[in-house]
Chain A
Amino acid sequence: MNYHWNWHIFAQQVQGGSETYADWLAAGLGWTLACALCAWLIALALGTLAGALRTTGNRVLAGAGATWVELFRNVPLLVQMFLWFFVVPELLPRELSLWVKQDMPAKEFVTATLCLGLFTSARIAEQVRAGIQALPRGQREAALALGLTTLQCYSHILLPRALRIIIAPLTSEFMNTFKNSSVAFAIGLMELTFQARQMQEDSEQGIETYLAVTLLYFLCAIIANRAMALIEARTRVPGTPG
């Protein structure tokens, strides 16, 4: 292999600028973290809601939850990014459409985060539904028999139990959110993958660039994994196998 290795490339200045390539990757990592964490919060909130709705036994609510899930899990994430970025703004009322296209601050970030959050929420919804359905039916009856409302039954009994049950698949989903955020480069969010492509073209040191980016994604996923393991340990119910 006739490749000129240069591990010092990260400390070197970019062409025609004062910052280093490491600065580029650091900025990219920042957007990746911001996008993934915000998307995760959206996904957790909406996914829990949609998943819970599917278990209420009310046909309209269950139908709404099911529609939500099918809408966001049957279209590739990359296509969803393009839909939110290029199509949805065109469908908005004229004033709003103009504002979104021209004046909305951090347009790529907002679009990518919303898209990733909604996409992930559909997957979380299915896990939450499975978790609730895994609980004995008597738990709901016992909560209702005490006089708790359906909302209180979900918030105090069913969801705290279901979320503990599904923490393993939720951990994978949290890690996926970091990895899936790389798709946002396609609509121009200057996240890690976007910066890597830019650095590769600018420095012509593609191998070092992508090895570094691989390592950074790997670290993100591992840290996400460890964080969830910590939560799992902290929320473990005494007397149950851990």
Chain B
Amino acid sequence: MISICGVSKWYGPTRVLDDCSTEVAKGDVVVVCGPSGSGKSTLIKCVNGLEAVQRGEVIVDGVVVTAPKTDLNRLRARVGMVFQHFELFPHLSVADNLTLGQIKVLGRSRDEAIARGLKMLDRVGLAAHRDKFPAQLSGGQQQRVAIARALSMDPVCMLFDEPTSALDPEMISEVLDVMVALAEEGMTMMCVTHEMGFARRVADRVIFMDQGRIVEDCAKESFFGAPRSERAQQFLAKILQH
């Protein structure tokens, strides 16, 4: 479903991605972790073309994202994305957040978009909040609305960029519950996260990045059992000791 092939990226002289290659098969859940500044977010944003790459190729569901002629808007409409800071549109109601993309990008009628959006809102347990505005919701609720917004577009895969990093501890689980349910239904997911409990529970593979490189890319059993690289061992020891 997602194929990243020899991708490199520079900001000026700084190399932020260094020859990264990996695959995410349909229905797979891949967790990307690593220290801050290791290029995780940049890598995931290359998948829907939010970040351009200077070398290498990214292919999503048969579409070459990195080809100059690719209609990125059309591709992005099929790839859901959830951000660290939710990024709901604060001047639009929850219902309008859910329907904007469906109406403007997919060309659905307002009724159709509302029906689809409310179904997704119900799924994340927030149907009662359709007429509220983002500022009237808690962080965890906002992130669930953001997930519903992405799902309303009927994506072929979902990208999560540290979806729980900006949340209070007690709100993290309400978001993770939604993500676990999604994973169990067979959604193809690429998640940048440090929630190792989530990774243990639903991930098929874990990718560990450091200094722009994919250092480890293996099945979760072997990652948590005995990561091969010393860097990954250090990282795990640090984040799992508490």
| Shortest beta-carbon distance from A211 to chain B in Å | 44
Taken together as a complex, chains A and B put the C-alpha atoms of A140 and B207 apart, in Å, by 28
Which residues from chain B contact A160 at a C-beta distance below 8 Å? 91
- A160's nearest neighbour on chain B, judged by CB, is B91
| Shortest beta-carbon distance from B172 to chain A in Å | 19
Interface stretch, picked from B3-11, B55-63, B73-81, B115-123, is B73-81
Instruction: Categorize the interface residue count of chain B.
Output: 20 to 34
When the two chains form their complex, are residues B73 and A147 in contact, meaning their CB atoms are under 8 A apart?
Answer: yes
When the two chains form their complex, are residues A240 and B153 in contact, meaning their CB atoms are under 8 A apart?
Answer: no
B25 within 8 A of A: no
Which residues from chain A contact B134 at a C-beta distance below 8 Å? 239
User: How many residues does chain A have at the interface if contact means C-beta atoms less than 8 Å apart?
Assistant: 22
Taken together as a complex, chains A and B put the C-alpha atoms of A143 and B105 apart, in Å, by 11
A141 within 8 A of B: yes
Taken together as a complex, chains A and B put the C-alpha atoms of A142 and B48 apart, in Å, by 11
Taken together as a complex, chains A and B put the C-alpha atoms of A157 and B90 apart, in Å, by 9
Segment 27-55 of B: residues with Cβ below 8 Å from A: 45, 48, 50
- B51's nearest neighbour on chain A, judged by CB, is A141
A148 within 8 A of B: yes
**Among A139, A147, A148, which residue has its beta carbon within 8 angstroms of that of B87?**
A139
| CB 8 Å contact bits of B133-172 with A (1 = contact, 0 = none) | 1111000000000000100010000000000000000000
Taken together as a complex, chains A and B put the C-alpha atoms of A88 and B134 apart, in Å, by 51
| CB 8 Å contact bits of B77-94 with A (1 = contact, 0 = none) | 111010111011111000
When the two chains form their complex, are residues A146 and B76 in contact, meaning their CB atoms are under 8 A apart?
Answer: yes
| Shortest beta-carbon distance from A144 to chain B in Å | 6
Taken together as a complex, chains A and B put the C-alpha atoms of A160 and B97 apart, in Å, by 14
A179 within 8 A of B: no
| Shortest beta-carbon distance from A115 to chain B in Å | 34
When the two chains form their complex, are residues A152 and B104 in contact, meaning their CB atoms are under 8 A apart?
Answer: yes
When the two chains form their complex, are residues A156 and B100 in contact, meaning their CB atoms are under 8 A apart?
Answer: yes
For A142, A161, A239, the residue with the greatest tally of chain B CB atoms inside 10 Å of its CB is A142
| Shortest beta-carbon distance from A75 to chain B in Å | 36
**Among B45, B101, B135, B149, which residue has its beta carbon within 8 angstroms of that of A148?**
B101
A238 within 8 A of B: yes
- B85's nearest neighbour on chain A, judged by CB, is A138
When the two chains form their complex, are residues B83 and A142 in contact, meaning their CB atoms are under 8 A apart?
Answer: yes
Taken together as a complex, chains A and B put the C-alpha atoms of A240 and B133 apart, in Å, by 9
- A238's nearest neighbour on chain B, judged by CB, is B133
Which residues from chain B contact A142 at a C-beta distance below 8 Å? 81, 83, 87-89
**Among B50, B73, B101, which residue has its beta carbon within 8 angstroms of that of A141?**
B50
When the two chains form their complex, are residues B85 and A144 in contact, meaning their CB atoms are under 8 A apart?
Answer: no
| Shortest beta-carbon distance from A232 to chain B in Å | 13
Which residues from chain A contact B45 at a C-beta distance below 8 Å? 141
Which residues from chain A contact B135 at a C-beta distance below 8 Å? 237-240
Which residues from chain A contact B83 at a C-beta distance below 8 Å? 138, 141-142
Which residues from chain A contact B76 at a C-beta distance below 8 Å? 144-147
| CB 8 Å contact bits of A114-140 with B (1 = contact, 0 = none) | 000000000000000000000010110
Q: Given contacts A136-B85, A138-B85, A160-B91, are A239 and B136 in contact (CB under 8 A)?
A: yes
A149 within 8 A of B: yes
A164 within 8 A of B: yes
Closest 9 CB pairs of A and B: A147-B77, A239-B135, A142-B87, A146-B101, A239-B136, A147-B105, A145-B81, A138-B87, A147-B76
Given A142-B87, A147-B73, 4 extra CB contacts under 8 A: A136-B85, A141-B87, A146-B153, A238-B132
Cross-chain pairs A/B with CB under 8 angstroms, 28 sampled: A138-B83, A138-B85, A139-B89, A141-B50, A141-B83, A142-B87, A142-B89, A144-B73, A144-B76, A145-B48, A145-B79, A146-B105, A147-B74, A147-B76, A147-B101, A147-B106, A148-B105, A149-B73, A156-B89, A157-B89, A237-B133, A237-B135, A238-B132, A238-B135, A238-B136, A239-B132, A239-B133, A239-B134
B residues bordering A, Cβ < 8 Å? 45, 48, 50, 72-79, 81, 83-85, 87-91, 100-101, 104-106, 132-136, 149, 153
